[in-house]
Amino acid sequence: MAIVRALCAVRGLWGLLLIVWPRQVTGTLTPDFPGDRTWLARVLGARVAAESAALLATSDRRVRVAAAGVDVLHAASMLPCLFSRRYRRAALISGGDAAASAVVLNRSARG
């Protein structure tokens, strides 16, 4: 369970960074990302922060399974963006983060 708490703390911080400084984060990590789309980073940050808060608040297996499911859906939704030069790096970062989170949460829910 310690790995889940550590994951949630890091992802919660990541979500807060996206909410508070979306332009700086996207500009640093994904220079091709359109500046007028930083609202997407804020929405993603809110989802990640809310998910992390829910996971930190409870150790319930059902919450971990639900969060893993949301992360799988998010990672899958990033696949089409891999074909776009403008969004590829953002999709790799965002989808990769979600996929890794889903793996950790799924494994923790099993054992």
Span 2-44, pLDDT tens digits: 999 999 999 999 999 999 999 999 999 999 999 999 999 999 9
Of 78, 71, 88, the C-alpha closest to 30 is 88
The pTM assigned to this predicted structure is 0.91
pLDDT at 1: 82
User: What band does 96 get if pLDDT is binned at 50, 70 and 90?
Assistant: very high
Residue 40 buriedness (CB in 10 A; 0-12 / 13-18 / 19+): middle
* DSSP characters over 66-94: HHHHHHHHHHHHHGGGGG-TTTHHHHHHH
Residue 44 buriedness (CB in 10 A; 0-12 / 13-18 / 19+): buried
Look at 1 and 6; give whichever has higher pLDDT.
Answer: 6
Q: Where in the chain are the domains? A: 2-110
Residue with tokens 């776009």: 84
Q: How far apart are CA 106 and CA 25, in angstroms?
A: 28
pLDDT at 59: 77
